[in-house]
Structure 1
Amino acid sequence: MAGTDGGRPSIYPTVLYRDAKAAIRQLTEAFGFAAPAVHEGDDGTVAHAELVQGNGAVMVGSKGTGGVFDSVMKDAGPTGVYVVVEDVDAHHRRAVEHGAEILMPPTDQDYGSRDYMARDAEGNIWSFGTYAPEIRG
């Protein structure tokens, strides 16, 4: 997922939550993301957050802020994000220990990956696995 600008990713999935603070807690505690940047609005909502896993990142924010992205996403359904992890079984154990809803246990795939799937507290689907295709530009 490395980009061409100093190793920065060039694609950032963006997920909005009714309770972004709770989502950030779950994503960091259960799924092992780091949260190097969390910016709150004056009303305490999450205006913008960056959560990092390996060399990839996802942006998170609060629903109902009235911004353009919030407005166009208001009727969007849950999203799905795939995250590459080194040790799927250890990652899965951590998620289970923190009460994550597991939709598929660690499973070996025909294409050589080992994956598991979980749902976050607001219905978004997070897949974690070893499949990391090389991106050629």
Structure 2
Amino acid sequence: MEVNRSIPAAQVVPILTYPDVRAAVAWLAAAFGFAERVRIGEDHRAQLRFGDGALIVADTGSDRRPPGGEGVTHAVLVRVDDARAHCERARAHGARIVMEPTDFEYGERQYHAEDLAGHRWTFSQTLADVAPEEWGGQSIA
């Protein structure tokens, strides 16, 4: 893959829409630990990083809208070192905790949070290396 400093290096990059890009960037940094890497216009878009992952925060121009109404249309999964500590940080900054940190048979401790615009996030801490067959999954390749 070619390198371009104007776009995140990650191969999969979610683009989430917020009504106020600057407020979203500040909140995502404070609550979830993201860091801004590129700013595009004052309130148009921003590229954020988290480890080797990336996220683009977009404004509400054109047909882009933040979540609204009932149900969950998407979630972003982010791997963290300590799900409990991360959850407390997010809670302290006003994240709505949808599911408290929970240990799962597939070797992950996860919690679910909703951000200031209603986007759903899953934060996951690896506890053990577990084969999918041990919990009912199936390895394909």
Please tell me the TM-score bracket, short chain as reference: 0.7 to 0.9
Counterpart residue number, 2:14 = 13
The 3 A distance-change label for structure 1 pair 48 and 114 is same
Q: 1:58 offset after TM fit, Å? A: 0.7
Partner Cα separation in structure 2 for residue 75 and residue 33 of structure 1 = 19
Structure 1 counterpart of 2:39: 38
TM-score when normalising by structure 2:
0.74
Q: Per the alignment, in what secondary structure is the counterpart of residue 96 of structure 1?
A: helix
Gaps of 5+ in 1: none
Secondary structure of residue in 2 paired with 1:26 = helix
CA distance in 1, matches of 2:74, 2:59: 15
Per-residue deviation, 1:74 = 4.5
- The match for 2:52 is 55
Q: Percent identity at matched positions?
A: 37
The equivalent residue for 1:122 is 117
| Deviation of 1:23 (Å) | 1.3
Q: Which residue of 2 aligns with 1:99?
A: 94
Please say if residues 100 and 112 of structure 2, whose CA atoms lie closer than 8 Å, have aligned partners that are also in contact: yes
- What is the deviation of 1:36? 1.5
SS of corresponding position for 1:28: helix
Is residue 26 from structure 1 mapped to residue 27 from structure 2 by the alignment?
A: yes
The two structures have a TM-score, normalised by structure 1, of 0.76
- Aligned-residue Cα RMSD (Å) equals 2.6
Any gaps of 5 or more consecutive residues in structure 2? 4-8, 130-141
Structure 1 121/62 Cα, relative in aligned 2: closer, same or farther at 3 Å?
same
Whole-angstrom distance in 2 between the partners of 1:75 and 1:97 = 23
Aligned length in residues: 120
Contact 2:60 2:66 in 1 (8 A): no
SS of 2:122 mapped into structure 1: strand
